[in-house]
Every structure is written in structure tokens, then in C-alpha cells.
Structure 1
């Protein structure tokens, strides 16, 4: 299930974050690449334990955990601190799959990577190329979103960042462990939750059938969740 989460950050937030990132010192992204990714990763990355990454990551998480579409789609249990990367002309990240287990650089806590996230911090007209290409059950999808928008997709997916041919592509990327391990079960719960919300808007939240469906939704979470 690949889902676009619009307007995680508003334009003022994006502008403030970009000002700090554009003034930051970047390092070779291969320093945090796994064994398979080392040979295909060519980008720049903000030091994960530096003050810029920590402060900006906290701001992103505050905004994200207040976004109802994100909460409905991800059902997050644990979220790794956001990281930041930059692709300039000629830089790319070839086809790879994310590591199944990630370790928080701040707490050393281990986390199962169920969902991967990319939050775009450059407008599409700031750079050419740089599309995030994700393979899923419906084929290959190329993603290039407005600054402040985010894409959420299963960490099991093969994906790549195409070479940037002009400008700079700046983004935040991170992972989460969901309360619902199965992608299929998460997709079913997301569809049900969105349907319940639509019915509640059309009828009202206290309608007997809406209440009944809400109860079924929460009982399914009780049955499938890992907390």
C-alpha cells in the first residue's frame, strides 16, 4: 500500500527547515548504507546525531503525529528519528531494499522496519530527475511530490532514487514499526477507517451503523495488533 500524505508541513515550516538544512554541513551518505546499498548509494546526508538533524526531526515528528491520514494508514508503534539527505547533479541511489531491522542512533533501540517514509523538502521545479521509484503489487510508481508532502510505502518494496540532472533534491527519510505487522491487514484497516470517517461525515458519528462499524474496526485492531 503506497499512500501520499499531503501537507505534513506547511510552506512556512518547509522554508524554515530548508534554511537550516541549506546552511548545514553534509557528509557522504554511504557512511550509513548497509552492505548491499554501499555500491549503489551516491548522495549526501546530515549527521544523524547532530543538533540540526535532532531538532528538525523532532519538529517533523510533532507535525506527523498530528496528521490523521498518516495515523490511519500507518498505525505507528515506534518511529525512528527522521534523517535528511541531499542529491545534487549526478547523485543517485540505485535499486535496493531497506534493512528489515533498524537501530535508533539516539537510543540504540531496535525496530522492525514495516513502513518507509520520504518527506519532500524541495519543490519539483527545483530539480530535474530525482524521482523516488517504488515497485509494488500494482507495478512501478515514480513519486515526486510538492515540498511538505510525504509518501508512505512498505519497507519490503524495491525502490531507487533516479539520478538528479539539475538542482538539488532535499528530503527527510525514516522508518516505523506499525502496531499491525501485515501490510494486507493495515490496508484493510485503512480502507475501513476511511469508510467510517466518510459515513460519519455523511450521517453523523453517533449513527448506529457507524458506531457498529467503529466497534468492528477496533476489535480487528485488538485481534491483529502487536504492542
Structure 2
């Protein structure tokens, strides 16, 4: 399931992020890629253990924890600290699949990557190219969102970032381990949750919404891996 989550960061928050990232020392992004991905990865990243990456990443993690749409879609059990990258002057990231197991930076702790997320920090008009292109069973999807908006998609998807031919594309990206590892089941739970919310908004709590909520939690109880 792919989902666009708007306004994870406000415009003033994005502006502050960009001002601070503009002063950062970026490094070759291939340092965090596996052997296969490193062959097609051409971008720059903020060092993952730098104080700035940890501070800004912590702010994003808190924003995601407070976002009900993100929680409903991802059902996160663990979120890897966010990374930051930049693309300019033809930089790109070729077709690849994210690694299934990610190590928490600076530790020996591993987590499974079920859901990938990209938080856009550049406005679409600031750069040409740079689309996130995700291929799945339903076709190919090009994503280029407003600054502060987030896209979530299964980590099992084949995807790439198109070359940036003008300007600079700055973003944050992260992985989540979901309580429900199967994407199809997560999608069904998300649709059920959203329809329950619509019924409650239209009619308030009643026998039907309580019954449906019970079905939701019983399915989550059945499928959750915690």
C-alpha cells in the first residue's frame, strides 16, 4: 500500500530544517548502501551519527508518533532513526529494493524493514527530475510531493529516484518495522480503520461502530507480531 500523508512537518519547520541542513557537511551516500545498491546510488547523505542528523531525526520521529494517519497505515513497532539525503547535478538512485534487515546506527540492534518512508523537504518547483518512482503489481507510480509531506510504501517494492537535472532535492527517509508484517493485511486494517472513523464522524458511536471496532482489534490481535 502506498499512502500520501500531508503536512507531517509545517512550512516553518521545513524552512528551519533546510536552513540548518544547508550548513551541513554531506558525505557520499554509497556508504550506507549494500553492494548491489551502491552500484546505482549517486547522492549525498548526512552522516547518520552526526548530532544534526540525530536532532532532526528525533524531531521527525516525534512528529510521526503524533500523526494518526501514519500510525493507522504503518502500525509501527519500531522506527529506524531517519536519514537525510540530497540530490543535485544529475545525481540519482537507480532501481533497487531496500534491504530487509536494517541495523540501528551505532548499535548491534537489528530490525526488519517493512515500510519505507520519504519525507520531502524541497518544494517541487525547486528542482527538476528527482521523482521517487515505485513499481508494484499495480504499475509504476511517480511521486513528487510538497515539502513537509510524506509518502509511505512497502519496503519490498522496487523503486528508484530519477536524476535531478536542476536545483536540489533534499529529503529524509526512514524504515519502520510494522506490528503487521504483511502489506496486504496492513492495507485491509487501514481501510477498515478509516471506514470506522467515517462512520463514527457521521453517526457517532453505536452498535455497528462498536462491533466493527471489535473486528478491527480482533484482526490486529490475530495478525500482530509483537
| TM-score in terms of structure 1 length | 0.98
Q: Distance in 1 between matches of 2:165 and 2:122?
A: 14
Q: Where does residue 5 of structure 2 map in the other structure? A: 5
Q: Deviations over 1:11-39 (max 9, x none)?
A: 01101111111110000001111011111
Q: Where does residue 223 of structure 1 map in the other structure? A: 222
Q: Distance in 2 between matches of 1:52 and 1:73?
A: 28
- Cα distance, 1:136 vs structure 2: 1.4
Q: Where does residue 104 of structure 1 map in the other structure? A: 104
Q: Deviations over 1:93-139 (max 9, x none)?
A: 00000001000004331010000000000000000000000001210
Q: Distance in 2 between matches of 1:10 and 1:104?
A: 27
Q: Deviations over 1:51-106 (max 9, x none)?
A: 01000000001111111110000000000000000001110000000001000004
Q: Distance in 2 between matches of 1:108 and 1:172?
A: 23
Map of 1:50-199 to 2, 5 A cutoff? Answer: 50-199=50-199
Give SS of 1:194's match.
helix
Q: Distance in 2 between matches of 1:30 and 1:157?
A: 20
Give SS of 1:24's match.
coil
Give SS of 1:141's match.
strand
Number of residue pairs matched by the alignment: 226
| TM-score in terms of structure 2 length | 0.99
Give SS of 1:47's match.
coil
Q: Distance in 1 between matches of 2:106 and 2:220?
A: 30
Give SS of 1:37's match.
helix
Q: Distance in 2 between matches of 1:82 and 1:155?
A: 15
RMSD after superposition: 0.6
Q: Distance in 2 between matches of 1:107 and 1:144?
A: 33
- Cα distance, 1:196 vs structure 2: 0.2
Q: Where does residue 210 of structure 2 map in the other structure? A: 211
Which runs of 5 or more residues in structure 2 are unaligned? none
Of 103-112 and 164-173, more deviation after overlay is shown by 103-112
